Homo-oligomer: A and B are copies of this chain.
Amino acid sequence: MTRPRTRIQQRNSETILEAALEVFSQHGFRGATLDQIAEVAGLSKPNLLYYFASKEAIHGALLSGLLETWLDPLRAMDPDGDPVAELLGYVRRKLELSRDFPRESRLFANEMLQGAPRIRAALEGELRDLVQEKSAVLQRWMDEGRLAPVHPVHLIFSVWALTQHYADFDVQVRAVLGGAKADPFPEAGRFLEVLFRRLLEP
C-alpha cells in the first residue's frame, strides 16, 4: 500500500474504504460486490479500480491495520499498574471500540467465521505472542495474590467475547432490550465492571 499522493487520491481512497467497510462488514468478502461498494461510495466501478487493483486489495487494505487497532488496548495494559484497575481499563477500552467502531468489529468477525483465511498468520504470530506476554503478566499478578486465580488466556478470551458481542450481535441486543431503550452501552459498561470486579478481586 503506497500512500496517496494528491488530495483527490487521499479523499477518494478514504471514501472507497469507508464504503467498503460498510459493505464488507455486512456481507463478508464473498457476499460483497464491487457494484455495491461503488454505489455506496458514489463512484463508478472502474473508478474504484483506478484506486485499488482489485476487490481483494480493498479488503486487504481494510484488514491490515485492523488487528493493530484491535490489540492496542491490550498492549496498553501496564504490568506495573494495579491489576484489577488495569484489567478493568482494558475492558473499558475494548467496549469503547465496540461502541465506536462496530463495523470494524463485524469485519473482523466475518473474517473469523470464514476461518480467517487472510489473517491466520497474524493470529498465530503477532496476536498469539501478545496474548502469551500479557497472560504471563496476569499469571504473575495471580501468583502474587493480587488477582483471583483463573486461566489467564481464557480470561482474555472472555474480555473479547463480552465486549465484541455488543458490536457483532448489536441487532439481537437491541431486539431483546426493546426499541425504546436506545443505547445498551452504558448499562453494558456497568455490568462488565461488576462482572470482572467480582471475578478478579482476590
- Chain A interface helix/strand/loop/mixed: helix
A181: shortest Cβ distance to chain B, in Å? 10
Rounded to whole angstroms, the CA-CA distance of A154 and B184 in the bound complex is: 9
* A151-B190 CB under 8 A given contacts A110-B113, A171-B123, A175-B128: yes
Please indicate the chain B residues that have their CB under 8 angstroms from the CB of A171 in the complex. Answer: 112, 115-116, 120, 123
Interface residue? A153 (CB, 8 A): yes
A192: shortest Cβ distance to chain B, in Å? 8
Rounded to whole angstroms, the CA-CA distance of A171 and B190 in the bound complex is: 30
Q: How many copies does the complex hold?
A: 2
Rounded to whole angstroms, the CA-CA distance of A109 and B171 in the bound complex is: 11
Please indicate the chain B residues that have their CB under 8 angstroms from the CB of A151 in the complex. Answer: 187, 190-191
**A191 in contact with B150 (CB, 8 Å):** yes
**B177 in contact with A153 (CB, 8 Å):** yes
Chain A interface residues toward B at CB < 8 A = 25-32, 106, 109-110, 112-116, 120, 123-124, 127-128, 131, 148, 150-151, 153-155, 157-158, 160-162, 164-166, 168-169, 171-173, 175-178, 187-188, 190-191, 194-195, 198-199
**A128 in contact with B178 (CB, 8 Å):** yes
Rounded to whole angstroms, the CA-CA distance of A109 and B109 in the bound complex is: 9
Please indicate the chain B residues that have their CB under 8 angstroms from the CB of A116 in the complex. Answer: 171-172, 175
Rounded to whole angstroms, the CA-CA distance of A28 and B32 in the bound complex is: 11
* A128-B176 CB under 8 A given contacts A26-B115, A113-B168: yes
**B169 in contact with A160 (CB, 8 Å):** yes
**B123 in contact with A154 (CB, 8 Å):** no
